[in-house]
Each structure stands twice: as C-alpha cells, then as structure tokens.
Structure 1
Amino acid sequence: MTDITKVLMRKNSLRKQCQELSVAEVEKIIADLSDILQEKIADEQARIEADREKNEKIELIRKMMQEADLGFEDIKDMVASAPKKKVEAKYSIVDAAGEEHFWSGRGRTPVVFQQYFEQHGVDKEACLIK
C-alpha cells in the first residue's frame, strides 16, 4: 500500500492532510475522486459484461460439442497447435552503434533499453513508436 493510499483510506489521516486546503481545493479533490470512481465502475461493468459474453460463447461451444459427440480430447491437439499471435513492437531506440532495437513493452525492460533510458534521462514513453 502506497503512502497516498494509506492517507486516503484513513479518515483521520485524510482530515489532517486536508486541514490546510481551502474548501474549493477539497471540492476539486472530491470531484476528481468521483470521476475516477465512475470510470472504475464503468470499467468493472465492461469487464463483467465481457466475462458474461465469453461464458455464453463457451456454453454454446460446449453444447455444440455435445451435439457432435466430441470431447475435449478430440480437439485438444488442434487447440494446442494454434499459432500464437506475435506482439508488435511499441518502442524503438537506436543505440550508439546505430543499431535499431524494438520492444513490445511487455516483460522486463531489455538491458539495451534500460541503458538508453539512463544515458539519455528519458522514460519509455519518449521511445514510443508513432
């Protein structure tokens, strides 16, 4: 839990932090938090709806498999051999040797990117492919 989260989650800590704020500043914070809450509610509802649709599709496939007298074992090898989708590069840099490097942004930051960020004092967003 971050320090700001600890303050926000404890009423007395929050009250102490707000003592020096004006009413307008507190109202602004409340309005911003309300906006964030509405975004989170919408995201959660969208996730629930996506899960519901996915489960409906799974149930439809299950029924179709039953009707065709197929089990998981019958199609397992076909599913396992499906080609994996390659993730496109999201970031690129050109190192000191003039070599271009690409990174999807997933997983650990590659050493060459980390060194570039440190040497140039930038973050990964500065290397975003447009």
Structure 2
Amino acid sequence: MSDALKALNNLRTLRVQARDIEVAVLNEMLEKFAVVVAERREEAAADNAAQREKEEKLALYKEMLRNDGIDINELAQLNQAETKPKARRAPRPAKYKFIDENGQEKFWTGQGRTPSPIKSAIDAGGSLDDFLI
C-alpha cells in the first residue's frame, strides 16, 4: 500500500491534512472517492457473479457426467493422453572463446547477453571475429 493510501486509511492523518484544504475541495474529493468506491463494488459484484456462474456450470457438468456414467478422473486422463511432451531443442554449439575475469577459458554461443570480457574488448575497438573458435 502506498503512503498516500496509508494516509487515507488513517483518520488522524486525514484530519491533520484536511485542515489546510477548503471544505468545497474536500466535498469534491469525497464525491470522486465515492465514485471510485462504487466502481470497485460493481467490479467485485461482477467478479462474484461470474465465479458463481462458473461454479454452477461446473456442478451441472459434473452431474451430467455422473448421469452418463463417466468418472471425472477418466476425463482428466483423456486430456493428459492428448498432450504431447514439448520437444527440446538441441543446445547450440559454441562459436566464441574468451578468458573471463578469473582467468578461466569460457565459451559463448553468440546468443543472449554478450559476456563482459567480449563486450569490453569490442568497446575498446576490437572485433567479435577475434574471439571466433
């Protein structure tokens, strides 16, 4: 919660800050705040109604399955059988070789973030071709 919202939630802080504000401005702020609260209540009511509707549909479908003699677990297993495992791509071969800050030889495929030793060498006027394997 931001500091401004914490101040709105604290009656003592509100009283102190409201002393310097005219009553007309406070009334305007109150009207705007009431609009925001009404909008949030409508959103919450719509979310609750959608959730209730979803639960009712699920109960209806569950009853339909039960009447047809189908177990929910069988239905779930059917869905699992249809999904195929995602094929993994083979790792890319390294294209570049460099020495890191610890003096160890490292390799880079050329994809992703440029390693800092290669980046600093390129910034100093070098070429990426200097690191080719």
Is the alpha carbon distance of 1:73 and 1:30 closer, same or farther for their aligned partners in structure 2, counting shifts above 3 Å?
same
Is the alpha carbon distance of 1:73 and 1:8 closer, same or farther for their aligned partners in structure 2, counting shifts above 3 Å?
same
Rounded to whole Å, the distance in 1 between the matches of 2:8 and 2:72 is 49
Partner residue in 1 for 2:51: 51
- Aligned 8 A contact 2:62 2:72 in 1: no
Rounded to whole Å, the distance in 2 between the matches of 1:63 and 1:42 is 31
Partner residue in 2 for 1:39: 39
Aligned-pair RMSD on alpha carbons?
2.0
Kindly provide the amino acid, as one letter, of the partner of residue 41 in structure 1. Answer: R
Larger radius of gyration: 2
Partner residue in 1 for 2:5: 5
Is the alpha carbon distance of 1:70 and 1:6 closer, same or farther for their aligned partners in structure 2, counting shifts above 3 Å?
same
Note the residue ranges of structure 1 that are not aligned, 5 or more in a row: 83-110, 112-130
Q: Count the aligned residue pairs.
A: 84
Query: RCO higher in 1 or 2 (8 Å CA, sep ≥ 6)?
Result: 1
Partner residue in 1 for 2:87: none
Percent identical residues: 23
What TM-score does the superposition give when structure 2 sets the normalisation length?
0.58
What TM-score does the superposition give when structure 1 sets the normalisation length?
0.59
